[in-house]
Chain A
Amino acid sequence: MFGLIGHSTSFESARNLARSLGFEEYADGDLDMWCSAPPQLVERISVTSPTGQCIEGAYIDSVFVPEMLSRFKTAKRKVLNAMELAQKNGIDITALGGFTSIIFEDFKLLREQQVRATTLDWQRFTTGNTHTAWVICRQVEANAPQLGIDLRRAKVAVVGATGDIGSAVCRWLSQRTGVQELLLVARRPQPLADLQQELGGGRILSLEDAMAEADVVVWVASLAQASSIDPGRLRRPCLMIDGGYPKNLDTKAAGEGIHVLKGGIVEFGSDIGWQMMEAAEMANPQRQMFACFAEAMLLEFEGLRTNFSWGRNNITLEKMDLIGAASLRHGFQALGLEHPAPVPSFSST
């Protein structure tokens, strides 16, 4: 069985979702009430691959909302309790979606393995970052040419280059895609220098300078710095892959010749018949989902019930190959620019 741990994109949308699912008491509660509410296993899901294989899974809402981020202990508790609920339900492999894996990593929850009577078994969880990184690379490779951008002559900026997803994307783009030049952007100088050495190339730039030179921008940092993007200084055409969380780049960088694509989103080949991706505000919620969620499904399909994506900087090209092949085999497709209905923005509500 696979599991997905997710949450609503805002307190307001969480309340609306609760109302639509018939949890009226929760819909009327204030943020303090939500801070004390336990995680809920809200939906059972079955997914059938084009291969004919059928798998069962469950969606757990951690009852976290981004408004809780400033409450360190609350955010931490939401993540740990949701993981405990997944494990108690016997779920073999669970993806940590949205802010869940960010909180897990940033708040160093590896130190918090004991949740009441449950010892969390890390083998049962995956960040889903390997699949997300692979999907983002596919999105670069498939969409840049459509805008007339020849990747062999293009400069690709990776913002958040030293993160788990960012460094994997850099590795792939430099070794597999063969872009002309990688522009490496991150906050801390030392990890950047280390990455540059590992890659054997790439130029370290400030965000502003990178934006002025890049033909393609892969945004995998959830930085507030997006507010400092000056659309007037961007090259045209410019492909921007919004792989951060939340996905709000299209509100920061818009204009003629700037093409923002929701990064790390995949579309399944047929309707899944679930309610929960409505909560993530996907354009086609019956088929679209975060690539990290899809990773849990892929690992279940492949019988790889293990923490495939775990820790930082462990994503190898071989693992990306493996999960990418599984992704294609089981009917997932990376979201592309030509998609008729783009995913609405995080802040569009």
Chain B
Amino acid sequence: MPTLETTTSVDSALGPLEGSELPDFTTAAYKDAYSRINAIVIEGEQEAHDNYMSLGTLLPDQAEELGRLARMELKHMKGFTACANNLGVTADMPFAQEFFSPLRNNFQAALKDGKVVTCLLIQALLIEAFAISAYHIYIPVADPFARKITEGVVKDEYTHLNYGQEWLKAHLEESRAELEQANRDNLPHVRRMLDRVAADAAVLHMEKEDLIEDFLIAYQDALTDIGFTPREIARMAAAALLG
């Protein structure tokens, strides 16, 4: 039977650890984990740039706005490259390119078929929600240099998520079936990506449970805004929880 006694002992045991406990940024273990996490972030920003440029070819009347979003992603990429330099870490780009390949392949296939809805779900909802949750959790445990950069980036990512949201909201009825299918096809990849990154993220003091829940909160918020009901959303999100 759970009681307050359990909670108070937990509190006194973990209380002092809680809050702003930062990792040691200078250890080899930290830098090793950072080389992969940072590479994922750089690759993610690069692909986000490419994806928004590609979306511009599917939505020519939106090309200018999408080009603006794409340029923001390049700026982010440069910022995170500076973070690695600052810590004296070389990003493991081959790892990151392979890490993103399932989502990249699905995006490219959808692009070839002219499936705007699927492309938007992958980039503007899933990847942006993934980035937003990861950046939010990273900020409190980041080194001061990276912290400042990440705080600026996360604001932009909301703009990108919002872009996808607004478009899909305006086209919900004709997009519904494709959205649900794209969710089924891609959300399990996001879950596997979170699983793969968990051990390295833990070295950076970022916990997998937090990453999953925060990702789902951002994703659910977007789906709510687009017009899905709580029950539909819970069903769609379960694909990420069950893997």
Contact = CB atoms under 8 A, between A and B. Distances in A.
A25 B7 contact: no
Nearest to B3: A224
Interface in B1-37: 1-8, 10-11, 14-15, 18-19
Contacts of B2: 66-67, 69-70, 99, 246
B64 interface: no
Contact of A88 (B214, B221, B234): B221
A116 B1 contact: no
Nearest to A44: B230
A284 B3 CA distance: 25
A341 interface: no
B170 to A, nearest CB: 22
A347 B1 contact: yes
Give the residue among B212, B221, B234 with the most A Cβ atoms within 10 A: B234
Interface string B65-101: 0000000000000000000000000000000000000
Main secondary structure of the interface of B (DSSP, over half): helix
A250 to B, nearest CB: 13
Given A25-B238, A72-B18, A37 B213 contact: yes
A72 B154 CA distance: 27
Interface in B192-240: 207-210, 212-214, 216-217, 220-221, 230-231, 234-235, 237-238
Interface in A27-75: 28-29, 32-33, 35-38, 40-42, 66-67, 69-70, 72-75
A35 to B, nearest CB: 5
Given A70-B10, A72-B18, A38 B213 contact: yes
A57 B212 CA distance: 28
A212 interface: no
B176 interface: no
Interface residues of A, number: 45
B163 interface: no
Contact of A33 (B15, B207, B242): B242
B36 to A, nearest CB: 22
Contact of B216 (A36, A70, A223): A36
Interface of B: 1-8, 10-11, 14-15, 18-19, 132, 136, 154, 158, 207-210, 212-214, 216-217, 220-221, 230-231, 234-235, 237-238, 241-242
Given A38-B237, A72-B11, A107-B11, 12 more contacts: A23-B235, A29-B242, A36-B213, A38-B217, A40-B230, A67-B2, A70-B2, A81-B217, A106-B7, A111-B19, A116-B214, A246-B2
13 contacts: A23-B234, A23-B235, A25-B242, A26-B241, A28-B242, A36-B209, A70-B2, A81-B213, A108-B15, A111-B19, A116-B132, A224-B3, A347-B1
